[in-house]
Amino acid sequence: MDDFMTNIGEIAQIFDGPHATPVKTDEGPIFLSISSLDSGRLDLTKSARLSDADFKKWTKRVTPQEGDLLFSYETRLGEAALMPSGVTACLGRRMGLLRPRLDKIVPEYLLYAYLSPAFQQTIVANTITGATVDRISLNELPDFPIRIPRKEVQKKVADLLKTIDAKIECNNRINAELEAMAKTLYEYWFVQFEYPDANGKPYKSSGGKMVYNATLKREIPTSWQATTLASITPISNDSLNPRDFLEKEFKHFSIPVFDATNTYGIERGDIIGSNKFRVIGRDLLVSKLNPWFSRVIYAMDEEDQICSTELVVWRCPTENIKNFLYLIATSQQFISHCVQSATGTSNSHKRVNPAVMMRFEIPYSPEVAEEFGGKISSIVKKLIINRQENQQLSQLRDWLLPLLMNGQVTVA
């Protein structure tokens, strides 16, 4: 047979770390935490560090090594990632690891099998619901069933899925660089005021006149003014209910999903309980809901788009001003304004009133903002195209994963 059912204990050793937390340090080995597990990836920026002395104590049971599968056995159940090479780390609280028996299973295949819908259902079926947190029993984990094919098939499946993930990660790295470029240029033009003057030279350092602005409590170029967002762009409350358009299938933007879309349409059997805002190509969609104030969706020029009413629709006057405002909406200053202005009964349900959101004030010159928006147009467009490609790749991977895991689809 090409594949067979076995259990976790047959293909991997199971370890956990001390059930405690060491003193955090600024340097030293990494203390892996469940917050570092992110949809099959390990984000070490979210992990703390510990002293060398504590590291020895925390690795008495096991020291994570390349190819180990890290997983959470309490709270964030179902999350997992592979341990990379060249990292000195120990297991944190609620973290376990599976050490693959390399004669039986390919580590990358084990990760995808762990993340597959079938094994996730096994985790759900064996979840112990507690008074404080949900967990799975490490004593029972060896008996969890898992389906594995021959090693050569495992490698082909893992290589295919890794190729998709590698492209997604490549796009993410490109986008990080593009965002850094756009923000650096914004800082140069609108914080340092070194935008090109009439002679194409940096304004402030070339002797451009500055004047103190009492509203902004800083100096700005003499021809600029303190302006609210409401003075730059209107917001749109143009809404509809998809139930009134049975023949259409709408692209729907929502939160907390970042810049992702799904479709709404009566023919798909979706239940739509409230109106949605119409979305057009000039729009920026900005979250008014805590803690997602940093979620800004850059709408493209497509038909039949709608969005959640938890998003504020900025209907920008021009494409270049839209690009400029995208940098404003993703700035830490604007996000802080929304956080400080939000009201509500609990932190997780706080909202900022759209009118209050739009009172955010910035130093502004329409001409400079228009020119800046044109300068970064290609950067922003590439960002959005990469995000859309990643969405399509993620959907392809998630569609293929269960089919590859259960043998419905094979890799030639």
pLDDT at 268: 45
- The encoded tokens of residue 331 equal 């700035």
Count Cβ atoms below 10 Å from residue 83 Cβ, excluding itself: 19
Comparing CA positions, the residue from 178, 188, 186 lying closest to residue 380 is: 178
For position 346, what pLDDT does the model report?
A: 67
Domains of the chain with CATH codes: 3-149 (3.90.220.20)
Return per-residue pLDDT of the chain as tens, 412 residues: 356 789 999 999 999 988 888 898 988 999 998 888 988 889 888 888 999 999 999 999 999 999 999 999 998 899 999 999 999 999 988 899 999 999 999 999 999 999 998 899 999 999 998 778 899 999 999 999 998 898 999 999 999 999 999 999 999 999 999 999 999 999 999 999 999 999 999 999 999 999 999 999 999 999 999 999 999 999 999 998 877 777 777 888 887 654 445 554 444 445 555 788 999 999 999 999 887 777 888 988 888 888 888 899 999 999 999 999 999 999 999 999 998 988 887 666 788 899 999 999 999 999 999 999 999 999 998 998 998 899 889 889 989 988 888 777 788 7
Burial grade of 197 (CB within 10 A; 0-12, 13-18, 19 or more):
middle
d(CA 47, CA 278): 41
Residues whose CB is less than 8 angstroms from the CB of residue 82 and which lie 6 or more positions away in sequence, other chains included = 42, 67, 68, 69, 70, 107, 108, 111
> Which pair of structure tokens corresponds to residue 9?
């204990």
